[in-house]
Amino acid sequence: MTWPPLRPELAGIEPYGAPQLPADRAPVQLNVNENPYGPSAECVADIARAVAEVAPTLNRYPDREFVALREALAAYLSRDGFRGSQARTSTTEISAEMVWAANGSNEVMLQLLQAFGGPGRTAVSFAPTYSMYPEYARDTATTWVMGRREEDFAIDLDHARAVVAEHRPSVVLLPSPNNPTGTALPPGTVTALCEAVGDDGIVVVDEAYGEFRRAGVASALELLPAHRNLVVTRTMSKAFAGAGLRLGYLAAHPAICDAIRVVRLPYHLSAVTQAAALAALRHAPELLGKVDELRVERDRTVAWLRAQGLEAADSDANFVLFGRFDDRHAVWQGLLDRGVLIRETGPDGWLRVSVGTAEEMAAFQDALLHVMKEI
Ligand code: PMP
Protein backbone atom coordinates (compact mmCIF):
# COMPACT_ATOMS: atom_id res chain seq x y z
CA MET A 1 0.00 0.00 0.00
CA THR A 2 1.46 3.37 -0.97
CA TRP A 3 0.95 6.53 1.00
CA PRO A 4 -1.04 8.81 0.92
CA PRO A 5 -3.93 6.37 0.53
CA LEU A 6 -5.17 7.73 -2.79
CA ARG A 7 -7.90 6.12 -4.88
CA PRO A 8 -5.88 3.52 -6.86
CA GLU A 9 -7.02 4.91 -10.23
CA LEU A 10 -5.44 8.29 -9.32
CA ALA A 11 -2.02 6.87 -8.41
CA GLY A 12 0.83 8.35 -10.43
CA ILE A 13 -1.37 10.76 -12.40
CA GLU A 14 0.06 14.21 -13.06
CA PRO A 15 -2.31 17.11 -12.36
CA TYR A 16 -3.74 18.59 -15.57
CA GLY A 17 -2.36 21.93 -16.71
CA ALA A 18 -0.33 23.64 -19.39
CA PRO A 19 3.17 24.73 -18.37
CA GLN A 20 2.94 28.18 -16.71
CA LEU A 21 6.12 30.16 -17.35
CA PRO A 22 6.94 33.71 -16.22
CA ALA A 23 6.88 36.49 -18.83
CA ASP A 24 10.67 36.88 -18.71
CA ARG A 25 11.07 33.26 -19.93
CA ALA A 26 8.21 33.39 -22.42
CA PRO A 27 7.26 36.97 -23.31
CA VAL A 28 4.83 35.74 -26.02
CA GLN A 29 2.23 33.57 -24.27
CA LEU A 30 0.04 31.77 -26.81
CA ASN A 31 -0.66 28.53 -24.94
CA VAL A 32 -3.97 28.67 -23.05
CA ASN A 33 -6.35 30.45 -25.44
CA GLU A 34 -6.67 33.62 -23.40
CA ASN A 35 -7.79 36.93 -24.85
CA PRO A 36 -4.57 38.98 -25.12
CA TYR A 37 -6.37 42.26 -24.39
CA GLY A 38 -6.89 43.27 -20.75
CA PRO A 39 -9.66 45.54 -19.43
CA SER A 40 -9.57 49.35 -19.77
CA ALA A 41 -8.77 51.57 -16.79
CA GLU A 42 -12.47 52.44 -16.56
CA CYS A 43 -13.49 48.77 -16.40
CA VAL A 44 -10.75 48.05 -13.83
CA ALA A 45 -12.03 50.93 -11.68
CA ASP A 46 -15.62 49.65 -11.91
CA ILE A 47 -14.57 46.12 -10.87
CA ALA A 48 -12.50 47.53 -7.98
CA ARG A 49 -15.48 49.69 -6.86
CA ALA A 50 -17.84 46.69 -7.00
CA VAL A 51 -15.47 44.57 -4.91
CA ALA A 52 -14.99 47.46 -2.42
CA GLU A 53 -18.77 47.63 -2.04
CA VAL A 54 -19.07 43.98 -0.95
CA ALA A 55 -15.87 43.95 1.15
CA PRO A 56 -17.57 45.29 4.34
CA THR A 57 -20.03 42.35 4.21
CA LEU A 58 -17.42 39.61 3.77
CA ASN A 59 -18.17 38.36 7.30
CA ARG A 60 -21.46 37.08 5.79
CA TYR A 61 -21.90 34.27 3.26
CA PRO A 62 -22.73 35.42 -0.27
CA ASP A 63 -26.09 34.96 -2.04
CA ARG A 64 -26.13 31.18 -2.48
CA GLU A 65 -28.45 31.44 -5.48
CA PHE A 66 -26.49 34.38 -7.05
CA VAL A 67 -29.77 35.78 -8.34
CA ALA A 68 -28.43 39.14 -9.58
CA LEU A 69 -25.64 37.41 -11.50
CA ARG A 70 -28.01 34.85 -13.04
CA GLU A 71 -30.29 37.68 -14.15
CA ALA A 72 -27.38 39.59 -15.67
CA LEU A 73 -26.06 36.48 -17.47
CA ALA A 74 -29.56 35.71 -18.80
CA ALA A 75 -29.91 39.28 -20.09
CA TYR A 76 -26.46 39.09 -21.64
CA LEU A 77 -27.21 35.76 -23.37
CA SER A 78 -30.58 36.98 -24.64
CA ARG A 79 -28.95 40.15 -25.99
CA ASP A 80 -25.52 39.04 -27.21
CA GLY A 81 -25.40 35.25 -26.97
CA PHE A 82 -26.73 34.75 -30.47
CA ARG A 83 -24.18 37.01 -32.16
CA GLY A 84 -23.40 35.67 -35.61
CA SER A 85 -26.45 33.39 -35.69
CA GLN A 86 -28.87 33.49 -38.58
CA ALA A 87 -32.02 34.22 -36.66
CA ARG A 88 -33.09 35.11 -33.18
CA THR A 89 -36.71 34.93 -32.20
CA SER A 90 -38.61 35.64 -29.00
CA THR A 91 -38.60 31.90 -28.26
CA THR A 92 -34.83 32.05 -27.80
CA GLU A 93 -35.13 34.46 -24.87
CA ILE A 94 -33.12 33.10 -21.90
CA SER A 95 -34.51 33.61 -18.37
CA ALA A 96 -32.61 33.57 -15.05
CA GLU A 97 -34.04 30.13 -14.10
CA MET A 98 -32.38 28.76 -17.24
CA VAL A 99 -28.94 29.94 -16.16
CA TRP A 100 -26.42 28.38 -13.79
CA ALA A 101 -22.86 29.50 -13.04
CA ALA A 102 -19.73 28.28 -11.26
CA ASN A 103 -16.00 28.94 -10.98
CA GLY A 104 -15.16 28.48 -14.66
CA SER A 105 -17.02 26.27 -17.12
CA ASN A 106 -14.75 23.43 -15.95
CA GLU A 107 -16.60 23.52 -12.62
CA VAL A 108 -19.97 23.82 -14.40
CA MET A 109 -19.22 20.63 -16.36
CA LEU A 110 -17.90 18.78 -13.32
CA GLN A 111 -21.18 19.63 -11.55
CA LEU A 112 -23.09 18.31 -14.59
CA LEU A 113 -21.20 15.01 -14.32
CA GLN A 114 -21.79 14.92 -10.54
CA ALA A 115 -25.52 15.32 -11.12
CA PHE A 116 -26.04 13.30 -14.30
CA GLY A 117 -23.06 10.90 -14.39
CA GLY A 118 -21.77 8.67 -11.59
CA PRO A 119 -21.23 4.95 -11.03
CA GLY A 120 -23.09 2.76 -13.50
CA ARG A 121 -23.52 5.67 -15.92
CA THR A 122 -21.60 6.60 -19.05
CA ALA A 123 -20.28 9.85 -20.55
CA VAL A 124 -19.23 10.13 -24.19
CA SER A 125 -17.23 12.48 -26.40
CA PHE A 126 -15.34 12.24 -29.69
CA ALA A 127 -11.52 12.39 -30.00
CA PRO A 128 -9.45 14.44 -30.45
CA THR A 129 -11.12 16.72 -27.95
CA TYR A 130 -10.67 18.66 -24.71
CA SER A 131 -8.50 16.63 -22.36
CA MET A 132 -10.42 17.62 -19.21
CA TYR A 133 -13.53 15.66 -20.26
CA PRO A 134 -12.17 12.22 -19.25
CA GLU A 135 -11.02 13.81 -15.98
CA TYR A 136 -14.57 14.91 -15.09
CA ALA A 137 -15.67 11.34 -15.75
CA ARG A 138 -12.84 9.81 -13.72
CA ASP A 139 -13.43 12.15 -10.77
CA THR A 140 -17.15 11.34 -10.67
CA ALA A 141 -16.64 7.56 -11.22
CA THR A 142 -18.53 7.80 -14.52
CA THR A 143 -17.67 5.27 -17.26
CA TRP A 144 -15.87 7.09 -20.07
CA VAL A 145 -16.32 6.25 -23.75
CA MET A 146 -14.43 8.09 -26.49
CA GLY A 147 -15.77 7.97 -30.06
CA ARG A 148 -13.67 9.33 -32.90
CA ARG A 149 -13.65 12.25 -35.30
CA GLU A 150 -13.04 12.21 -39.04
CA GLU A 151 -9.73 13.15 -40.72
CA ASP A 152 -10.96 16.76 -40.93
CA PHE A 153 -12.02 16.59 -37.23
CA ALA A 154 -15.75 16.72 -38.03
CA ILE A 155 -18.12 14.34 -36.23
CA ASP A 156 -19.57 11.62 -38.44
CA LEU A 157 -23.22 11.46 -37.47
CA ASP A 158 -23.66 7.75 -38.24
CA HIS A 159 -20.70 6.88 -36.04
CA ALA A 160 -21.94 9.22 -33.26
CA ARG A 161 -25.43 7.72 -33.38
CA ALA A 162 -23.95 4.22 -33.22
CA VAL A 163 -21.88 5.14 -30.13
CA VAL A 164 -24.99 6.56 -28.45
CA ALA A 165 -27.07 3.49 -29.37
CA GLU A 166 -24.41 1.12 -28.02
CA HIS A 167 -23.53 2.90 -24.76
CA ARG A 168 -26.76 4.77 -23.88
CA PRO A 169 -24.78 7.66 -22.31
CA SER A 170 -26.31 9.87 -19.66
CA VAL A 171 -23.95 12.69 -20.70
CA VAL A 172 -22.65 13.54 -24.19
CA LEU A 173 -19.97 16.26 -24.28
CA LEU A 174 -19.83 18.14 -27.58
CA PRO A 175 -17.52 21.14 -27.71
CA SER A 176 -18.36 23.64 -30.45
CA PRO A 177 -15.87 24.90 -31.46
CA ASN A 178 -13.84 21.89 -30.42
CA ASN A 179 -10.57 22.22 -28.52
CA PRO A 180 -7.86 21.65 -29.81
CA THR A 181 -9.08 21.45 -33.42
CA GLY A 182 -11.28 24.59 -33.66
CA THR A 183 -14.07 22.65 -35.40
CA ALA A 184 -17.64 23.98 -34.96
CA LEU A 185 -20.64 21.63 -35.01
CA PRO A 186 -23.45 22.06 -37.51
CA PRO A 187 -26.82 22.52 -35.72
CA GLY A 188 -28.08 19.37 -37.48
CA THR A 189 -25.55 17.24 -35.59
CA VAL A 190 -26.63 18.70 -32.23
CA THR A 191 -30.30 18.15 -33.06
CA ALA A 192 -29.71 14.57 -34.19
CA LEU A 193 -27.73 13.71 -31.05
CA CYS A 194 -30.31 15.34 -28.74
CA GLU A 195 -32.91 13.12 -30.43
CA ALA A 196 -30.71 10.01 -30.22
CA VAL A 197 -30.00 10.52 -26.49
CA GLY A 198 -33.61 11.41 -25.63
CA ASP A 199 -34.72 11.53 -22.00
CA ASP A 200 -32.02 9.01 -20.97
CA GLY A 201 -29.36 11.70 -20.86
CA ILE A 202 -28.20 15.26 -21.49
CA VAL A 203 -26.25 16.68 -24.43
CA VAL A 204 -23.75 19.34 -23.35
CA VAL A 205 -22.62 21.68 -26.12
CA ASP A 206 -19.50 23.33 -24.71
CA GLU A 207 -19.38 26.78 -26.34
CA ALA A 208 -16.33 28.03 -24.41
CA TYR A 209 -15.16 29.54 -27.71
CA GLY A 210 -18.63 30.15 -29.15
CA GLU A 211 -18.23 33.90 -29.65
CA PHE A 212 -15.32 33.35 -32.05
CA ARG A 213 -17.28 31.25 -34.55
CA ARG A 214 -17.36 32.38 -38.15
CA ALA A 215 -20.35 34.26 -39.56
CA GLY A 216 -23.27 32.00 -40.41
CA VAL A 217 -22.40 29.35 -37.80
CA ALA A 218 -25.32 29.20 -35.36
CA SER A 219 -25.07 28.90 -31.56
CA ALA A 220 -26.72 25.85 -29.99
CA LEU A 221 -28.60 28.35 -27.77
CA GLU A 222 -31.10 28.57 -30.63
CA LEU A 223 -31.93 24.88 -30.20
CA LEU A 224 -32.78 25.10 -26.49
CA PRO A 225 -36.55 25.58 -26.96
CA ALA A 226 -36.71 22.38 -29.04
CA HIS A 227 -34.69 20.05 -26.74
CA ARG A 228 -35.13 19.83 -22.98
CA ASN A 229 -32.05 17.56 -22.74
CA LEU A 230 -29.74 20.20 -24.26
CA VAL A 231 -27.26 22.18 -22.13
CA VAL A 232 -25.14 24.98 -23.60
CA THR A 233 -22.09 26.00 -21.55
CA ARG A 234 -20.22 29.27 -21.93
CA THR A 235 -17.37 31.01 -20.11
CA MET A 236 -16.10 34.51 -19.40
CA SER A 237 -12.53 33.16 -19.78
CA LYS A 238 -12.05 33.44 -23.53
CA ALA A 239 -13.80 36.02 -25.76
CA PHE A 240 -14.94 37.88 -22.64
CA ALA A 241 -11.30 38.48 -21.61
CA GLY A 242 -11.92 37.30 -18.04
CA ALA A 243 -9.87 34.11 -17.54
CA GLY A 244 -8.76 35.36 -14.12
CA LEU A 245 -12.36 35.90 -13.02
CA ARG A 246 -13.14 32.16 -13.02
CA LEU A 247 -16.73 32.45 -14.14
CA GLY A 248 -18.39 29.87 -16.35
CA TYR A 249 -22.11 29.38 -16.89
CA LEU A 250 -24.73 27.41 -18.75
CA ALA A 251 -28.17 27.78 -20.25
CA ALA A 252 -30.60 24.86 -20.06
CA HIS A 253 -34.09 23.80 -19.01
CA PRO A 254 -34.82 25.16 -15.48
CA ALA A 255 -35.17 21.57 -14.16
CA ILE A 256 -31.53 20.91 -15.12
CA CYS A 257 -30.35 24.04 -13.25
CA ASP A 258 -32.41 22.94 -10.26
CA ALA A 259 -30.85 19.47 -10.32
CA ILE A 260 -27.33 20.94 -10.17
CA ARG A 261 -28.28 22.75 -6.95
CA VAL A 262 -28.30 19.34 -5.27
CA VAL A 263 -24.60 18.69 -5.96
CA ARG A 264 -23.09 22.18 -5.81
CA LEU A 265 -21.22 23.14 -2.66
CA PRO A 266 -23.05 25.81 -0.69
CA TYR A 267 -21.87 29.36 -1.49
CA HIS A 268 -19.58 28.10 -4.27
CA LEU A 269 -19.50 31.55 -5.92
CA SER A 270 -17.82 34.02 -3.58
CA ALA A 271 -19.22 37.52 -3.05
CA VAL A 272 -16.04 38.86 -4.67
CA THR A 273 -16.54 36.68 -7.77
CA GLN A 274 -20.21 37.67 -8.05
CA ALA A 275 -19.43 41.39 -7.71
CA ALA A 276 -16.52 41.29 -10.15
CA ALA A 277 -18.48 39.27 -12.74
CA LEU A 278 -21.47 41.63 -12.51
CA ALA A 279 -19.18 44.62 -13.03
CA ALA A 280 -17.45 42.90 -15.98
CA LEU A 281 -20.83 42.15 -17.56
CA ARG A 282 -21.64 45.88 -17.47
CA HIS A 283 -18.58 46.31 -19.71
CA ALA A 284 -19.48 43.48 -22.10
CA PRO A 285 -19.21 45.55 -25.30
CA GLU A 286 -15.70 46.68 -24.40
CA LEU A 287 -14.47 43.28 -23.17
CA LEU A 288 -15.83 41.53 -26.27
CA GLY A 289 -14.65 44.41 -28.46
CA LYS A 290 -11.56 42.63 -29.79
CA VAL A 291 -13.35 39.46 -30.93
CA ASP A 292 -13.64 40.57 -34.56
CA GLU A 293 -9.99 41.58 -34.65
CA LEU A 294 -8.97 38.20 -33.17
CA ARG A 295 -11.05 36.34 -35.75
CA VAL A 296 -9.27 38.23 -38.55
CA GLU A 297 -5.90 37.45 -36.96
CA ARG A 298 -6.92 33.77 -36.67
CA ASP A 299 -7.86 33.53 -40.35
CA ARG A 300 -4.61 35.27 -41.26
CA THR A 301 -2.66 32.76 -39.16
CA VAL A 302 -4.36 29.80 -40.88
CA ALA A 303 -3.58 31.28 -44.32
CA TRP A 304 0.03 32.03 -43.36
CA LEU A 305 0.66 28.53 -42.00
CA ARG A 306 -0.75 26.97 -45.17
CA ALA A 307 1.39 29.28 -47.28
CA GLN A 308 4.43 27.81 -45.49
CA GLY A 309 3.39 24.37 -46.72
CA LEU A 310 2.03 23.32 -43.32
CA GLU A 311 -1.39 21.90 -42.50
CA ALA A 312 -3.71 24.10 -40.45
CA ALA A 313 -7.17 23.01 -39.36
CA ASP A 314 -10.10 25.31 -40.17
CA SER A 315 -10.87 27.16 -36.94
CA ASP A 316 -13.97 28.79 -35.45
CA ALA A 317 -12.10 29.48 -32.22
CA ASN A 318 -9.23 31.73 -31.05
CA PHE A 319 -6.55 29.13 -31.71
CA VAL A 320 -5.19 27.15 -34.62
CA LEU A 321 -4.08 23.50 -34.73
CA PHE A 322 -1.20 23.09 -37.15
CA GLY A 323 1.44 20.57 -38.21
CA ARG A 324 2.44 18.03 -38.94
CA PHE A 325 5.91 17.64 -37.49
CA ASP A 326 7.95 14.48 -37.07
CA ASP A 327 9.18 15.84 -33.75
CA ARG A 328 6.61 18.30 -32.48
CA HIS A 329 8.31 18.61 -29.12
CA ALA A 330 11.44 19.95 -30.86
CA VAL A 331 9.34 22.60 -32.60
CA TRP A 332 7.58 23.51 -29.33
CA GLN A 333 10.95 23.77 -27.55
CA GLY A 334 12.52 25.76 -30.41
CA LEU A 335 9.70 28.30 -30.21
CA LEU A 336 10.05 28.52 -26.43
CA ASP A 337 13.80 29.09 -26.80
CA ARG A 338 12.78 32.17 -28.84
CA GLY A 339 10.36 33.33 -26.15
CA VAL A 340 7.14 32.01 -27.75
CA LEU A 341 5.11 29.60 -25.61
CA ILE A 342 2.51 27.52 -27.48
CA ARG A 343 0.81 24.22 -26.59
CA GLU A 344 1.95 20.71 -27.31
CA THR A 345 -1.45 19.08 -27.57
CA GLY A 346 -3.75 17.30 -30.03
CA PRO A 347 -3.00 14.32 -32.25
CA ASP A 348 0.61 13.26 -32.81
CA GLY A 349 2.56 15.71 -34.93
CA TRP A 350 0.24 18.69 -34.34
CA LEU A 351 0.69 21.81 -32.20
CA ARG A 352 -1.80 24.45 -31.10
CA VAL A 353 -1.21 28.20 -31.10
CA SER A 354 -3.59 30.67 -29.46
CA VAL A 355 -4.38 33.85 -31.36
CA GLY A 356 -2.71 36.86 -29.75
CA THR A 357 -2.15 40.44 -30.86
CA ALA A 358 -0.81 41.17 -34.37
CA GLU A 359 2.65 41.76 -32.81
CA GLU A 360 2.54 38.45 -30.94
CA MET A 361 1.51 36.57 -34.10
CA ALA A 362 4.36 38.23 -36.01
CA ALA A 363 6.77 37.04 -33.27
CA PHE A 364 5.30 33.52 -33.54
CA GLN A 365 5.69 33.49 -37.32
CA ASP A 366 9.24 34.78 -37.15
CA ALA A 367 10.21 32.18 -34.52
CA LEU A 368 8.52 29.33 -36.43
CA LEU A 369 10.37 30.20 -39.64
CA HIS A 370 13.68 29.99 -37.75
CA VAL A 371 12.76 26.72 -36.08
CA MET A 372 11.63 25.14 -39.36
CA LYS A 373 14.99 25.91 -40.90
CA GLU A 374 16.74 24.17 -38.04
CA ILE A 375 14.75 20.95 -37.82
N1 PMP B 1 -14.13 23.97 -22.49
C2 PMP B 1 -13.12 24.03 -23.36
C3 PMP B 1 -13.32 23.41 -24.70
C4 PMP B 1 -11.93 24.66 -23.02
O5 PMP B 1 -10.92 24.69 -23.89
C6 PMP B 1 -11.80 25.24 -21.73
C7 PMP B 1 -10.54 25.95 -21.28
N8 PMP B 1 -9.39 25.61 -21.83
C9 PMP B 1 -12.87 25.13 -20.85
C10 PMP B 1 -14.02 24.51 -21.27
C11 PMP B 1 -12.81 25.63 -19.43
O12 PMP B 1 -12.60 26.98 -19.31
P13 PMP B 1 -12.97 27.77 -17.99
O14 PMP B 1 -13.00 26.80 -16.85
O15 PMP B 1 -11.89 28.79 -17.88
O16 PMP B 1 -14.32 28.37 -18.24
Q: 214 burial class (0-12, 13-18, 19+ CB within 10 angstroms)? A: middle
Give the pLDDT confidence score for residue 19 in this predicted structure. 85
The mean per-residue pLDDT over the stretch 172-200 comes to: 97
Whether 176 lines ligand 1, by a CB cut-off of 6 Å, is: no
Q: How many CB atoms lie within 10 A of CB 7?
A: 10
Q: Is the CB of 210 under 6 A from ligand 1?
A: no
Give, using CA atoms, the residue closest to atom 3 of ligand 1. 179
Q: Of the given ranges (15-19, 115-119, 251-255, 357-361), which has the lowest mean pLDDT?
A: 15-19
Per-residue confidence band for 85, with pLDDT thresholds at 50, 70 and 90: low
Please report which confidence band the pLDDT of residue 50 belongs to, taking 50, 70 and 90 as the band edges: very high
Write the residue with the smallest CA distance to atom 4 of ligand 1.
208
ipTM rounded to 2 decimals: 0.99
- pTM for the full predicted model: 0.97
Q: Is any atom of ligand 1 closer than 6 Å to the C-beta of 208?
A: yes
CB of residue 206 inside a 6 A radius of ligand 1: yes
For the CA of 129, the nearest atom of ligand 1:
3
In the reported structure, the alpha carbon of residue 342 is separated from the centroid of ligand 1 by a whole-number distance in angstroms of: 16
Identify the CATH class of 43-287. Answer: alpha beta
Per-residue pLDDT band for 18 (boundaries 50, 70, 90) equals: confident
| Ligand 1 pocket residue status of 106, Cβ below 6 Å | yes
Q: What is the CA 197 to chain-centroid distance, rounded?
A: 22
**Comparing C-alpha atoms, which of 106, 24, 30 is closest to residue 345?**
30
360 within ligand 1 shell (Cβ under 6 A): no
Q: Whose CA is nearest to atom 6 of ligand 1?
A: 208
SS3 per-residue string spanning 8-35 = HHHCCCCCCCCCCCCCCCCCEECCCCCC
Compute CA distances 172 → 83, 112, 158, 259, whole Å: 25, 11, 15, 17
Closest ligand 1 atom, residue 179 Cα: 3
For the CA of 235, the nearest atom of ligand 1: 16
Domain ranges, ordered by start, for the chain = 17-37+290-374, 43-287
Instruction: Kindly indicate the confidence band of residue 2, based on its pLDDT and cuts at 50, 70 and 90.
Output: confident
Q: Are 135 and 109 in contact (CB under 8 A)?
A: no
What is the position in ligand 1's atom list of the atom closest to the CA of 246?
A: 15
Tell how far the Cα of 106 is from the centroid of ligand 1, in angstroms.
6
- CA dist., res. 241 & res. 252, Å (int): 24
Q: Which CATH class is domain 17-37+290-374?
A: alpha beta
Q: What is the DSSP letter of 322?
A: E
- Given this chain, do its domains 17-37+290-374 and 43-287 carry the same CATH topology? no
pLDDT for position 75 = 96
| Weakest-pLDDT range from 89-103, 178-192, 233-247 | 89-103
